[in-house]
Amino acid sequence: MDKFVFRRYCLFVVSVFINAFGIAFITKALLGTSPITSVTYVLSMFTSYTMGQWTIALNLLFMLIDLLFMRPRELKDDLRMFLLQIPITLCFGTFIDVSMSALSWLHPAGYLYQLVSLAAGCFILAVGIGLEVKADIAMVAGEYMVRVISKRLRKEFGYVKLGLDVTLVLVSCVLSLVFMSGLYGVREGTVVAALVVGPIVRFLKPYYRVLDRWIGEGRTARPASVSAVKEERYPVVTIAREYGSGGHLLGELLAKRLGVSFYDKELIGLAAEESGLTRKYISENEQSMSPVWLKNIIFQNYESSLNLSLSSRDALFVAQSRVIRRIAAKGPCVIIGRCADFILKDYPGVIKVFCYSGADEAYARCLKEYGLPEETAAAEIKRVNQARVAHYEYYTERKWGDPHNYDLMINTGSMELSTACDLIERLYKNRLETV
């Protein structure tokens, strides 16, 4: 076994233990437990079996449910990942019992201390999930089942995950009411855990880069990889742009002047061929992500990497990344948006441009050139820019429009597009001499 693969497995085992410890910490706060363990916690309250033992039983049940949704060919193709659920399940359940025993001293007195314990548990659980995502080598049974169901029913991972969590909580409530004549094990802490763990995972994610070298990040080809394009000797221009800044028109003008290929809407068809998604879906969802915080918290998949996720938006991003890298490998070109500056960040010939303008200039261009109605233009500019910010920052973990991420920042509100084109062309020709 490759040493980096072995290290990823070791990291995954550590992450499973931390997840179990975090769940135990949340449970010991006595404000409810996480949704995924709510059923097992309630069952442990009125039976002779422990929470960990019930967790093993429930996760093995998840594996049986997987078989109902998987076709024989799918099971064969994913047999390693499927069979890994058995040792992972045994470890997870055992780790929960060990953690509950290790925390036997924890009895928070008073609501304030309970909240502190809950917060600490949520943080610990987020650390574990972040490490699990970083390992990118396996999945716990619950997440794997969501992945299988999502694929079979062609539903978003986030919606299926939410459905599973709600179902488990409802089953917990029913079990508690039937067997203990009251509502136990499900409280406000269950809701808090469901809402706050994901954002904490996302906050911590950049700090896990210290593990990149140890686990060989970038050494093996991975579907979502954005490592260096093979080193051809020609420039590729990427243009990120605010809505209403004329970035598309500037890109067209530049490509025509340089005599190179131009890609904007053309990427929709290429991404459709790569991903199997429809052109309509891609045109409606590319470069967008809801800026509404609650929707992002509930429906974004924080608990598995892009490689293992079945979110349609994630699949679209991966497909467009592959397309953009292939395009860059073919020859000089101009690419508009779609995080191309990040996807090609290690490509030696990339020229990264950010196009922006003042609010008044953007408004005027939207009226004159884009044909937007006066009463909706300002709102549309704000909406599109917010969506682009959310999309870019979610997938790149960089700040959209930060001048440190670009070679050239151009204010098209203070100059003609032909002048802006002159600036990029001069940079392009200088780059030709150096690459």
**What mean pLDDT do residues 17-32 have?**
95
pLDDT at 222: 39
Structure tokens at 95: 């780790």
**What mean pLDDT do residues 180-202 have?**
88
**pLDDT of 171 over the 80 cut:** yes
Q: Work out the percent of the chain whose per-residue pLDDT is above 70.
A: 90
> DSSP code of 209?
G
In 332-352, which positions are buried (b, 16+ CB within 10 angstroms) versus exposed (e)?
bbbbbbbbbbbbbbebbbbbb
Confidence of residue 161 (pLDDT cuts 50, 70, 90): confident
Q: Which of 65-69, 162-166, 202-206, 224-228 has the highest average model confidence (pLDDT)?
A: 65-69
CA distances from 431 to 135, 247, 351, 354 (A): 38, 21, 8, 17
Mean residue pLDDT across the chain: 87
Q: Is 378 helix (H, G, I), strand (E, B) or coil?
A: helix
pLDDT at 316: 81
Structure tokens at 396: 């790149």
Strand partners, 335: 238, 263
Structure tokens at 265: 């809407």
**pLDDT of 305 over the 70 cut:** no
Confidence of residue 418 (pLDDT cuts 50, 70, 90): very high
Each residue of 123-157: pLDDT tens digit? 999 999 999 988 888 888 998 998 899 888 877 77
**What mean pLDDT do residues 250-270 have?**
93
pLDDT at 106: 93
pLDDT at 220: 40
The span from the CA of 290 to the CA of 390, in Å, is 7
**What mean pLDDT do residues 291-317 have?**
54
Each residue of 201-237: pLDDT tens digit? 878 888 888 998 898 875 543 333 444 444 456 889 9
Q: Work out the percent of the chain whose per-residue pLDDT is above 90.
A: 57
Strand partners, 169: none
The span from the CA of 208 to the CA of 62, in Å, is 30
Structure tokens at 134: 């970083």
Provide the residue type at 234 as one letter. Y
Is residue 239 a contact partner of residue 417, using CB atoms and an 8 Å limit? no
Confidence of residue 3 (pLDDT cuts 50, 70, 90): confident
**pLDDT of 19 over the 50 cut:** yes
Confidence of residue 261 (pLDDT cuts 50, 70, 90): very high
